[in-house]
């Protein structure tokens, strides 16, 4: 298959498999989504969803979160890993939201990325899923599959995001990034397929014999 044909096949297959794209992180508004995405760094969505009910019972808005001792937040989120940094970031960004944004999550990449603990990927998730702006957050699943599908050189997450945005229609970005994540978890996991056996890999690369070694970003 030529790359253009692969892109069309992958797009159609993912829409067929995942016509609905619910966000896997439980949340109720932009603030709780922002916190949940921050917690998901180097942690599974399942674990985050186990932790956030207790955290949001304690505080589910910037005003209440800003009043919490960092140590109390850290104790709750410890199962997510990196709890010292994440707890400090959550309390810190809550204070900034109150001081600079009227207690609301800003609808801006620049403003989001200026918050403690919020990188480009987290900002992209919030912009796309909370506010509906076209964005293509790239996580480890997407980075791995984009390489297995020869859609990117895989030299960096930034390059992968740029390549995928170039290949797929802008109106598909928000749903597509979730569809690729779902597919990576169900069919083309980090410790299986290796670019050889899942439905997309085997269809796009029927002659491939050797496992694809993912270049970590």
pLDDT of residue 217: 64
Both tokens of 93, joined, read: 């960004």
Burial class (CB in 10 A: 0-12, 13-18, 19+), 105: buried
pTM over the 0.85 mark: yes
Q: Which of 11, 45, 139, 163 is catalytic?
A: 139
Predicted pLDDT of residue 142? 93
| pLDDT tens digits, one per residue of 75-120 | 999 999 999 999 999 999 999 999 999 999 999 999 999 999 999 9
Q: What's the maximum distance between 2 C-alpha atoms anywhere in the chain?
A: 59
Taking only the tens place, the pLDDT of each residue in 8-41 is 999 999 999 999 999 999 999 999 999 999 999 9
**Do 79 and 51 contact (CB within 8 A), yes or no?**
yes
pLDDT for the residue numbered 214: 81
Report the C-alpha gap between 46 and 4 in whole angstroms: 35
Give residue 140's pLDDT band: very low, low, confident or very high (50, 70, 90).
Answer: confident
* Tens digit of each residue's pLDDT (9 = 90 or more) over 51-66: 999 999 999 999 999 9
* pLDDT attached to residue 156: 86
The question of whether 162 is a catalytic residue gets the answer no
Higher per-residue confidence, 100 vs 140: 100
Ramachandran quadrant class, 91 (left: phi over 0; alpha: psi -120 to 50; beta: rest): alpha
What's the rounded Cα separation, in Å, for the pair 55 and 59?
A: 6
139 catalytic per annotation: yes
Tokens 């159609």 locate to 12
Residue 155 pLDDT: 80
- The full set of domains in the chain, from first to last, is 3-20+136-204 (1.10.1670.10), 30-130 (1.10.340.30)
pLDDT tens across 144-203, in order? 999 999 999 878 889 999 999 999 999 999 999 999 999 999 999 988 899 999 999 999
Cβ atoms within 10 A of the Cβ of 186, count?
11
């Amino acid at each position: 298959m030529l790359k253009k044909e692969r892109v069309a096949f992958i797009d159609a297959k993912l829409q067929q498999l995942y016509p609905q794209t619910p966000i896997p992180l439980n949340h109720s508004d932009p603030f709780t989504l922002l916190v949940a995405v921050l917690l998901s760094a180097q942690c599974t969505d399942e674990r985050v969803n186990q932790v956030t009910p207790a955290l949001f019972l304690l505080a589910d808005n910037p005003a209440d979160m800003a009043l919490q001792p960092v140590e109390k937040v850290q104790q709750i989120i410890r199962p997510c890993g990196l709890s010292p940094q994440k707890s400090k970031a959550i309390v810190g960004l809550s204070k900034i939201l109150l001081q600079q944004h009227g207690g609301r999550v800003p609808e801006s990449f620049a403003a989001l990325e200026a918050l403690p603990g919020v990188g480009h990927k987290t900002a992209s998730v919030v912009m796309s899923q909370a506010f509906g702006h076209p964005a293509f957050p790239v996580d480890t699943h997407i980075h791995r599959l984009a390489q297995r599908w020869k859609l990117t050189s895989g030299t960096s997450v930034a390059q992968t995001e740029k390549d995928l945005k170039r290949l797929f229609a802008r109106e598909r970005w928000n749903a597509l990034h979730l569809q690729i994540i779902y597919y990576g978890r169900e069919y083309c996991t980090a410790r299986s397929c290796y670019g050889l056996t899942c439905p997309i890999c085997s269809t796009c690369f029927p002659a491939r014999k050797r496992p694809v070694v993912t270049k970590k970003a």
